[in-house]
């Protein structure tokens, strides 16, 4: 039976070296996991090439694979039978259910390798099963769980990879996974609030547009025929509606196409870095919109930065990863400048104050946290306060939007009714 030499980390994060007998490399990895160790490198006693689970080599292997002619959309690769992450349509929404399942198994005392292997068999969702299978293939070949998830950037964010790596290094992976699950659940809940808040106003807008189109394209042509048969002079309001209906029936399609082309052009421009920066700068100058954007980005910043710092990620790395979650490009640029000032020795509150895009309350709370030597509680409090503010902003915005659309629809329908009745009364009075 082959003898393998290994290097692994124990629960305290200390490197441990040893050897063991196993029928295969996969069996050796399993035995190491049963000893509550996280494998770092593994080689057979005969001097075979060592498969090190370092992020540098795993990333290099990933680049070599991506340069091969096989397609990421599912083309078969003859040289390797390992499942590829790109073989199915994986997305960030797969991260939370997978991390939740993995956290539950590890919390029950199962080693991380066995937990991933079990998920690759037990998960019912095809995408999650494909993800777990790919991760297990990487782990069974000698990689750590953090290096394995790093090869699925379409599913796991960079901050998630760093947190898992920090959990491995400190032997606190179980707690890190619980916090990651809570973090992703909070973010999903926030997205759900935004979607639910916009659903009703959008429904009202669609109904109002439908009513208007019904009047213009179906009712007015018939009313015009009736008025022509009655003869006489048509009131100005009625004539205005008839002329508007005829204009839209003649040129409505061209107007619609022009609007779509303009929207697509703006969308394409917004997809460029310069275009998005210009539009984001303009949005920050719009009253009401500016407050909503700042509240949302402050919430994203406080949640992400607090989670990273709380779990042992260095300040410089945490700031770099937090920068990527900010939506507004102008705020992201100012945060990047603040990050450079922090690297040079400036306090975070002082650096953000120079950007003029962060509220005074946020700066004061960060300053208090820095003075006490622990900024994480301040970030958590900022997150709590601004989550409440974002909820209030959404409620106010949806209320005004719903009321505004309803008022416009009621006014338009009332104007139509007035135009029709005045025309009927005026024309019938001539008989």
What confidence tens digit (pLDDT) does each residue in 323-357 have? Answer: 888 888 899 988 989 889 988 888 888 888 887 78
Q: At 269, list the tokens.
A: 């421009």
Contacts of 227 (CB under 8 A, 6+ apart): 234, 238, 242, 423, 427
pLDDT at residue 408 is higher than 70: yes
Confidence category of residue 232, pLDDT binned at 50, 70, 90: low
Q: Quick one: what percent of the chain has pLDDT higher than 70?
A: 84
What pLDDT is recorded for position 86? 45
Burial of 113 (0-12, 13-18, 19+ CB in 10 A): buried
Q: Quick one: what percent of the chain has pLDDT higher than 90?
A: 10
Confidence category of residue 191, pLDDT binned at 50, 70, 90: confident
Integer angstrom CA distances of residue 113 from 28, 132, 277: 11, 11, 44
What pLDDT is recorded for position 231? 66
pLDDT at residue 261 is higher than 90: yes
**Chain-wide mean pLDDT for the chain?**
79
* Residue 368 CB neighbour total at 10 angstroms: 14
What pLDDT is recorded for position 5? 82
Average pLDDT over residues 14-34: 77
Burial of 69 (0-12, 13-18, 19+ CB in 10 A): exposed
Lowest mean pLDDT among 122-131, 141-150, 197-206, 299-308: 197-206
Average pLDDT over residues 259-270: 91
pLDDT at residue 225 is higher than 50: yes
Confidence category of residue 79, pLDDT binned at 50, 70, 90: very low
More confident residue, 135 or 167: 135
Confidence category of residue 58, pLDDT binned at 50, 70, 90: very low
Which stretch, 129-143, 161-175, 182-196, has highest mean pLDDT? Answer: 129-143
Confidence category of residue 378, pLDDT binned at 50, 70, 90: very high
What pLDDT is recorded for position 82? 42
What pLDDT is recorded for position 419? 81
- From 53, 248, 262, select the one nearest 165 (Cα to Cα): 53
What pLDDT is recorded for position 213? 80
* Domains, the chain, ordered by start: 1-49 (3.10.20), 90-156 (1.20.81.30), 173-431 (1.20.81.30)
**pLDDT tens by residue, 81-122:** 344 444 457 888 889 999 999 999 988 888 888 889 999 988
What pLDDT is recorded for position 300? 85
What pLDDT is recorded for position 216? 75
b or e along 202-228 (b: 16 or more beta carbons within 10 Å of the residue's beta carbon)?
eebbeebeeebeebbeeebeebbeebe
What pLDDT is recorded for position 265? 92
pLDDT at residue 322 is higher than 60: yes
Confidence category of residue 364, pLDDT binned at 50, 70, 90: very high
pLDDT at residue 48 is higher than 60: no
**pLDDT tens by residue, 155-165:** 998 778 878 88
What pLDDT is recorded for position 233? 74
What pLDDT is recorded for position 45? 59
Which stretch, 61-75, 208-222, 363-377, has highest mean pLDDT? Answer: 363-377
What pLDDT is recorded for position 78? 32
pLDDT at residue 403 is higher than 50: yes
């Amino acid at each position: 039976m082959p003898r393998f030499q290994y290097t692994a980390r124990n629960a305290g994060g200390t490197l441990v070296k040893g050897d063991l007998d196993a029928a295969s490399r996969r069996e050796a990895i399993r035995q190491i996991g049963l000893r509550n160790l996280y494998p770092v490198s593994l080689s057979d006693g005969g001097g075979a090439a060592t498969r090190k689970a370092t992020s540098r080599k795993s990333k290099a292997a990933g680049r070599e694979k991506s340069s091969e002619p096989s397609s990421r959309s599912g083309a078969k690769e003859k040289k390797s039978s390992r499942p590829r992450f790109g073989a199915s349509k994986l997305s960030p929404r797969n991260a939370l259910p997978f991390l939740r399942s993995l956290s539950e198994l590890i919390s029950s005392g199962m080693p991380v390798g066995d937990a991933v292997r079990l998920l690759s068999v037990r998960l019912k969702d095809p995408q999650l099963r494909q993800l777990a299978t790919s991760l297990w293939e990487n782990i069974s070949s000698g990689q750590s769980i953090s290096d394995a998830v790093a090869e699925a950037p379409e599913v796991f964010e960079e901050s998630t990879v760093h947190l898992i790596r920090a959990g491995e290094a400190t032997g606190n992976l179980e707690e890190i996974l619980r916090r990651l699950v809570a973090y992703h659940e909070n973010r999903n809940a926030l997205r759900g609030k935004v979607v639910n808040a916009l659903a009703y106003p959008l429904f009202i807008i669609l109904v109002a547009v439908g009513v208007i189109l019904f009047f213009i394209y179906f009712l007015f042509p018939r009313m015009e025929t009736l008025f022509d048969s009655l003869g006489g002079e048509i009131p100005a309001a009625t004539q205005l509606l008839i002329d508007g209906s005829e204009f839209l029936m003649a040129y409505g399609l061209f107007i619609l196409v022009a609007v779509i082309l303009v929207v697509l052009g703006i969308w394409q421009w917004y997809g460029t870095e310069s275009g998005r920066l210009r539009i984001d700068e303009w949005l920050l100058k719009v009253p009401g919109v500016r407050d909503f954007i700042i509240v949302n980005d402050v919430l994203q910043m406080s949640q992400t930065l607090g989670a990273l710092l709380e779990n042992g990620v260095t300040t410089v790395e945490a700031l770099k990863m937090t920068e990527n979650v900010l939506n507004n490009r102008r705020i992201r640029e100012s945060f990047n400048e603040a990050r450079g000032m922090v690297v040079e020795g400036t306090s975070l509150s002082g650096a953000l104050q120079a950007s003029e895009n962060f509220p005074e309350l946020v700066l004061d709370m960060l300053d208090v946290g820095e003075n006490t030597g622990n900024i994480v509680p301040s970030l958590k409090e900022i997150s709590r306060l601004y989550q409440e503010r974002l909820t209030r902003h959404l409620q106010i915005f949806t209320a005004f939007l719903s009321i505004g659309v309803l008022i416009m629809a009621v006014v338009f329908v009332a104007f139509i009714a007035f135009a029709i009745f005045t025309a009927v009364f005026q024309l019938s009075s001539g008989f």
